[in-house]
Each structure stands twice: as C-alpha cells, then as structure tokens.
Amino acid sequence: MTDTTDDIAEEISFQSFDDDCKLLGSLLKDVLQREAGSQFVEKLERYRILSMSACNIRLAGVVDTAELIEKQLASEMSKMTLEEALTLARAFSHWLTFTSIAETHHRSSQSWNLEHLSKSCDNIFNQLIQQGVSPDELYKTVCKQEVEIVLTAHPTQINRRTLQYKHIRIAHLLEFNSRPDLGREDRDLLIEDLVREITSIWQTDELRRHKPTPVDEAKAGLHIVEQSLWKAVPHYLCRVSNALKKHTGRVLPLTCTPIKFGAWMGGDRDGNPNVTAKVTRDVSLLARWMAVDLYIRELDNLRFELSTTRCSDRLSRLAHEILENESSEEDQHRGWNQQRNWSELKHNSQQACAFPLQLPAGAELPSCTGCHDGRSQYPTLELPGKSYTPFSHQDGQVSSRSGSSSCETSSSLPRKPSDGNLTNYNNSTPQSPRSASVNSAQLLAQRKQFAESQIGRTSFQKLLEPSLSQRPNIEPYRIVLGHVKDKLSKTRKRLELLLEDPPCEHDPWDYYETKEQLLEPLLLCHESLQSCGAGILADGRLADLIRRVATFGMNLMKLDLRQESGRHADTFDAITRYLDMGIYSEWDEQKRLEFLTRELKGKRPLVPATIEVPPDVKEVLDTFRVAAELGSESLGAYVISMASNASDVLAVELLQKDARLAVSGKLGRPCPGGTLRVVPLFETVKDLRAAGSVIRKLLSIDWYRQHIIKNHNGHQEVMVGYSDSGKDAGRFTAAWELYKAQEDVVAACNEYGIKVTLFHGRGGSIGRGGGPMYLAIQSQPPGSVMGTLRSTEQGEMVQAKFGLPHTAVRQLEIYTTAVLLATLRPPPPPREAKWRNLMEEISKISCQIYRSTVYENPEFLPYFHEATPQAELGFLNIGSRPTRRKSSGGIGQLRAIPWIFAWTQTRFVLPAWLGVGSGLKSLCEKGHTEEIKAMYKEWPFFQSTVDLIEMVLGKADNNIAKHYEEVLVSKSRQELGAQLRKELQTTEKYILVVTGHEKLLVNNRSLQRLIESRLPYLNPLNMLQVEILKRLRCDDDNNKLRDVLLITINGIAAGMRNTG
C-alpha cells in the first residue's frame, strides 16, 4: 500500500503474504488475551468483523447498508472508556504495522526468488543490448554514472527507533520462517521468538516523549548505513558487475561507484534554529568516526581470512618495512625511556595507585598457574575481558563495584631514579617485597592503569605476537592489514579528541584523511592476491571492503548544508552596515551582483575579525567557518532554499571564500579539500519559472563560469523542490512547472557548455513529489538525466526503501537502471506543440481552483484546522525543527510536511488532487478528450502524472473524510466540505476517462489488494481518531486523551504507509 515501494509491487506473493499476516495477527491476539484480557479481545474482534462487513458490502455496491454498519461502529466507539480506547488504538496500530512488515518482507524475498526481475541490471542491460546499444557504450555509461541518494531529517518517520529495530527483528524471523528446510522444533522456537518480540513491542511505549535533537536524527541516518546499506552496497555492486560481465564481457572496476550517499541530518538549518555550526561539526566528525569504526571491524574479519603467505614482491617489501619499523619502535620503547610517556605515568600516579614499571615474571603463563611458586611477587597480568570489572578513580582512591579501599603509598614499588635514566633501572629487582596488606583489588587496578597506558598497551601487544626472528614465513597480508588497522585506530582516537574539542596536533602521517589513502594498501593486497593466483580470495571479503571504501569514503555520507536565502541577505546587511556601505537588502539586483563579483575577484577578506553582529548573523558566519575547517572531503553541497536570483548564489560563494581565507590564516595552512558546490533550490512556482534565467545570468558572469570550470569540473548543480511548489499551486501545476523548469535549466547550461546535475527534492508522499522512483526518473524531460542525478529520500521512506538489506539492494538497482535508461533511451518529448498548450490550460485551471480554495477562501483555514488533526501533530515529537517557518498561522508559513500529513490522516489527501478534476473536465467539455487520451498513452510525463493521481485517489476515502466533517466541523463550514468532496468525485470521474480504466487501480491489482486488506483495521482507527479529537477539543489539557490521539495517528500512518 506504500507509494514508495510500488517500483517492486508486482514482486509479492499474496498467498504467503496472507499466511504471514494471519500468523502475526494470531500471535498478537494471543498476547492481547494475556495482556488485556479475553473481554477486550472479544470487543476488538467484534469491531474488526463489523468493519470488515461494512467494507465488503460497500465493495459489493450496497452503500446504504454499509453506512448503517459504519454508524453502528462509530456509535459503539463513542461509548468506550478512555482506557478501552487506548488499548484499542494500540492493538489496531500494531496490527497495521505488522502487515506493513510482512509486505516489505515479501517484496524483498520475492526479489531473490524470481529469476528474471524487471528493472534489474541483468534485465535492463539485456534490453538495451537488444535495442542496439553497443556493449562498449553500455559499459562506459554504467561506469560513468553518478547517482547520489541524499537522506534527510524531514520529520516523517513516526516510529521510535527502538520499535524500528524490533520490527526489523520480526522481519528477520519471517524470513527464517519461510525456509523450506525448517524443522518442527526449530519452527516452534521461532514462534516463541515472535511471541517474545510482539510481547516486548506491546509493553513498549509507542510515543516519543521528547523531541529528537539534530544529532539524534543524524544518528538515525547513520544507523541505516550500519544496519542495512553496509551489507547491501557490496551485494548491489556485485550484481552490477556480474550483469556487466554477462552482457559486455567486462566487470565493474572495484573503485567504481554508480551510487553514493549524502545526508542533510545535522546540516539542514533552513527554518531549524536547533542546527548550529557546532552541531554540523559534531555530526560530520561522528560520521567519520562511525566510518572508521566500521572499517576496523571489517579489517578484523579480513585479517583472520587472509592468512596466506604467497604475495607479490611489492607487498612483501611493504610487509617487511612495516615489521622493521615496528621493531625500531619496540627498541625505542624498551627501557621505558620516552620522556613523554614518563611524564604521563608521573601525572597518572598523582591521581591513582602506582603500578608496576616492569612486566612480572610468568606474565606469559595462563592465569591458572597463578604465582604460587614464589617466582613472582605479582599475580599474572591479564587482559580485560567480558568478566573484567571496571574500576573508578576518585580522589586518589581505587574502588571496585563490590567495595573500595584506600591505595597504599607507592614506597614499596620501584621509584624512578633522580637522574631520570630508566635503562638499568628497569632490570633491577624491587627494593622490598610487597606488603601482605595490599589486596587483589589494588593490584588489579594497578594492572588496568598499566595496560591502558600507551607503554602498557604497546608492550603487552608485543607479548601476544611472535618477534620477527620467529617468523621464517611471515603472513604479509595480515601484517599490512594490521598496519592499516593501527592507523585507523589512531584516526578514530583523533576524531574522539576532536569531538571533545581540545587542541589537536595536525600530523597527516598518523591517520587517514582521504579514502584514497585507505584504498592504496587495500588495492595493493588485491593486486597481490590476483597476481599469485588467489583471485577467489581477492574477490571475496577484500573486494567488498574496497567497494565500501569507494562508496562510503571516510564519511559514510557527505553532509550537505542548507540555509534560506534571506539569512544570507541579513548577514550581508550586517556586514555592509558595519563597513558603512549601506544596506545590502535595499540594493537592486545589478548593484548586488557588481558588489559580490568585485569582492570575489579580490584577494582580501571582506568580514573584519572584530565585527560585532547579532546572534543569528554570527551563526551564519560560524557555519561558513566550520565548512571551511571541514572542507569538501567531509561536506557535499551548500543548498540555498528559496533561491530566486543570481545574487543568492554569489552571496554564498563570497561568504565561503571569506571564511576559507580566515580559517586558512588561523591554521597556517590551506583549508582541507576544495570549496563546496553552491546549489540554488527553486521551490515556488514563481521561482521555478525564473530558474533558467537565473542560471543564464550566473553563467554569463565570467568569474562564476571560470570558477565552475576550474573548481567543479564544469559542472553546475541545480535543485528543484517538489514540496513547496505543490503546496503553492497544487500537485498537477507543480509537476508541469517542474518539468518546464528542468528543460529551461538544461538548455541554459548547454548554451554555455556546462554540464548540469539536477537535484530532486522529493518527499515521501505523492503530494510532495513522492511515488515510484523508476516511474519518476523515466518521465523526466529528455536530456535532463545524462548519467547524473541527485534525489532526497525522507523520513519513513528511508526505512521503507533501505531498512532491510534485500530491499535496499533492489532499490539501488532500480535507481541504477532507471538513470541508465533515461540516459541512453530518454523519454520522448510531447509529440506536438498542441500537447504543451493543453497541459498549460489544464495547469492554469487546476491552479486557479486550488489557490481560490486554499488561499483565497476565508473559510478554508478554519475548516482545515477543524477537519484534521493538524494542530495536534506537533505533540508527536518526530522532528527537531518547528512545523512552521515563521509564527504566522496561515497556510503559507506552514511547512509542506504537516500540510500533507494532516490530510493523509483524514484519508482525504486533498493536496494531491485538488483542482485536477476541474482542469481535465474543462478540456474534455471543449472536445479535447481524444487528444488527452493520446497524451496519456504516448507522453511518459503526462502518463506518470495521471497514474500518481490515480494512486492517490485509490487510497483516498470520501466517506471517512465526510465522517470527520460531520463530527468535527462547524455547521457553517460543512458546505465547503461538500464542495471539496464533489471535486474529489469529479477528479475520479475524469481520471478514469483519461486512462480508460473502468475502476481506480484496475491496472495495479497488487496495490488495490494491499489497500483492501488494511481497511478492516484502518477504518475503525479513523473512527476512533474522530471520537478522540472530539473529546480532546473539549478537554485539551487531558494528556491521556492526547496519547490516545497520537497512537491513532501512528496507526493510520502505518496503514497508509505515509505521513507527509
């Protein structure tokens, strides 16, 4: 039932899907029997049967009887106690969630079972070869493809992360349950595990009690990489490589990455004051830390695997160099004569007990030998393991969890001689035996502090490995990879220090800064294995690691920054006032461009170091300084939301240049990486219409054009926004204006010989540009997808598409093949100019109806507040940013997500279809019906637009929307609701006329069946939400009522598979 995964809707087996739904439903009922009692379960079952009966009777066309049953159900719910309502809301919500889990599981499992998958690499490569594309052209196009999927923090993921992990666990258990070789005993154990998970879910609070911070949102994005994409990417690239080998005879190069990932979590500050410069810095460092940590884990497994001794001469030389360096370092450590380390030991001794300055005799013996033979005065030194109990150091004392005792003075331990020379000193025996009063807790604490010191760690590690003289046949891969791991460990430690924000020395030889540095030894190992006839080893875990490094780099996902253009103008107002140059925002566009271009050509900084500015301006300047410190190795693009002029782009370029000059002077060296790509985001209809002109103006400026050629490889990136354009003019008009804007931007860049990458700011729901990605890419203007594409994936869409490795692999393939087809076989333009004129007329009428209703009818805003739970959505705590850009209560300042979210809850889904029916009706009545039908059959863009609207209509429910209105809306405004429902019926009628379908979704039986399977649970939840809203609006301080409402919101979102 999801808008997002309909790319693979045909890949579901309904027989096994129904079996799993019945299994999960039965187990949930068993849990409820135990947790809520049999009386409640009977009532729950009665409501389900009433709802199912009403649905079946309505589908049979007996509407009056269905309405009577629905009224009876609503009447019974109105008499429920608050406690019963809470339990009922939770039960139906969990059932809808379990259905979604089963659906996602069966989509992914079917993709492994079908031999010839549609839209797979094998399928599309074969199709292109059959159509006359040469193997060489196919190979080069795939290898040059650049697709970036950008995960955003848009607040549409309604489930807590705790529950997301439990849901993933259930999906894995369903996968295990589908195995044909599963025995009866194992199946019984599996059922127990499912019951355990469902019980845990039932006893877990579904609601977030606090708003997530931007760092929390970033962690959620990083967890998607760890839990799914980390496994999926090598598998996906292997599929691409195998398909290429089959159809072109050549494999995908190991470091070739057709798809990469970006992120906005922690970088998107547009309207979110919680995203600060410090947050951006911390999130970027955190992403680097996690990348390094994941690589270290992989290296541990890889070193265990690569025990072979045969290698190339080059690798052998490197391994021996590493061993010689380590031996040299060991000589330096011997005698403990490093002044820095001694200072550390002296400092530590002032805070805790002293510890042995030499390894005790028998340290290499197993712990069971103890020290009972009198050879050593110390017990055997042991590495901390799982049974190790940590000690706390406070006020010079060491205490274990079981108790504490004061440290003895260290007079009985060896002391450093006054001359500071430790060479002979370390060979001497202690001056006096240990006192019997020193207990084992003290000795353990001493050993722990010794082991955690740099000297202790280094020395003890050497005890665990044989020396060079004992290695006649060294294991070169383990040595080289061990060295890589050591360097990664130092990198991780440095990142931890940077996160704590102390001064940190810059010594690039001690750690990895770029992925190229990390790839070098890995590729050397791969080449060595290949040259020694061990290609099967080279192409296993090692190849997977190389592909991960090539894809994720040292950051996992490069972080984009986004800020609204007005904040940059405010910053220049403060600067120009300080410099007595006037007020920047009052200048006309030409004067701004002259000023910005002149400053960009200059070599001096513009912003004085002593400037005093308001806090919001300081935050903007701080952001650019952090961007300069992190550089393009960590950050991706700087996106300017609400861009409307060429000066918006140049303003960011100047702020970026100025910050890099200041940071470079402070560091005494060049800033890391290059400048960030500056990307204008055109969102409103007005700005979309001007997008081509803005790009032409930019590229006509010599400085800017040369900057793009020199610093960005002749590549201009432009972002188009689907959410705000849809809220501004309606979905149909927005789709047409986006199409024309892309055509114009591509033409503008072609005029100046500049390549263009279009960045699509698509939401999850169709009202915000969502829908099947394959369909969306295939319907773009010809020439707009030339091997490159960026696209956002938001909120619950991230989990739906990439939450499971199997699903992620499939989605990555679909991205690849859709972009490949759009590049080599672009969709046709409108067949004739008249089609464009017809589109203009439909769009004009649609926009007029939409805006006259939403923005010009004074009754609409109060109707919207009464008929939907929009005002209550803020209590969900699903995002760190406010629901409005400014404090104004109008539709204009309301963000697109709560706008769509509220209408989705009522099942009216108004923003996606309002005005479309009137536009189509007008043209059909003028005699253009056949032409519109021809447009639907022959023009991919028009066809996809109509199909998406049909998909929305299939999920909309006029009767449920009417129930919200009858109970919640004032009588004086119910006439507006009747008009809106009539417009919905008009839209349904003319969509069927255009498509030639007898009923909605007749061409998408899978989606239709998925919708129908949810209705017996979804409809009662909507009725319960109406009842709770009615009560809450009479008692708005009742927190328990609010909790019930929020749970119904969760459940309806799960049933619709959409929030905003």
Rounded to 10 degrees, the C-alpha dihedral 331/333/337/338 comes to 120
SS3 state at 562: strand
- Cβ neighbour number for residue 15 with a 10 Å cutoff: 7
Q: How many CA atoms lie within 13 A of 1042 on its CB side?
A: 15
- Cβ neighbour number for residue 100 with a 10 Å cutoff: 22
Distance CA 987, CA 918 (A): 7
Q: Which phi and psi (to 5°) does residue 786 adopt?
A: -105, 65
The 3-class secondary structure across 80-113, one letter per residue, is CCHHHHHHHHHHHHHHHHHHHHHHHHHHHHHHHH
CA angle (162 as vertex; 160, 167 as ends), nearest 5 = 95
Q: Pairing mode, if any, of strands 677-682 and 403-405? A: unpaired
Closest CA to 892 of 684, 721, 728, 726: 728
Closest CA to 841 of 786, 922, 762, 775: 922
Contact between 250 and 568 under an 8 Å Cβ cutoff? The reply is no
SS3 state at 789: strand
Locus of tokens 């939840």? 1021
Sign of the C-alpha dihedral computed for residues 709, 712, 714 and 718 taken in this order: negative
Distance CA 329, CA 321 (A): 12
Closest CA to 154 of 722, 552, 652, 945: 722
**DSSP one-letter code for 894:** B
Structure tokens of 130? 């059959």
Structure tokens of 1053? 């979102």
Distance CA 734, CA 723 (A): 9
727, 801, 921, 955: which one is catalytic? 727
Q: Say whether 963 is catalytic.
A: no
Distance CA 868, CA 859 (A): 14
Distance CA 283, CA 626 (A): 12
Q: Pairing mode, if any, of strands 403-405 and 397-400? A: antiparallel
Locus of tokens 């890589």? 484
Q: b or e along 986-1015 (b: 16 or more beta carbons within 10 Å of the residue's beta carbon)?
A: bbbebbbbbbeeeebbeebebbbbbbebbb
Q: Which helix (H) or strand (E) holds 680?
A: strand 677-682
Please state the length of the chain. 1060
106, 119, 154, 526: which one is catalytic? 154
Structure tokens of 714? 């002749």
* Gyration radius from the chain CA atoms: 33
Can you say whether residue 113 is alpha, beta or left, with left for phi > 0 and alpha for psi between -120 and 50 degrees?
alpha
59 CA to centre of own chain: 39
Helices and strands in the chain: count of H runs, count of E runs: 40, 11
CA-CA distances (angstroms) from residue 1037 to 1003, 1031, 1043?
47, 11, 11
Distance CA 88, CA 28 (A): 13
Q: Say whether 707 is catalytic.
A: no
Q: Pairing mode, if any, of strands 558-564 and 635-641? A: parallel
Q: Which helix (H) or strand (E) holds 841?
A: helix 833-854
Distance CA 708, CA 465 (A): 53
Structure tokens of 231? 């496994």
The residues carrying an active-site annotation are 154, 727
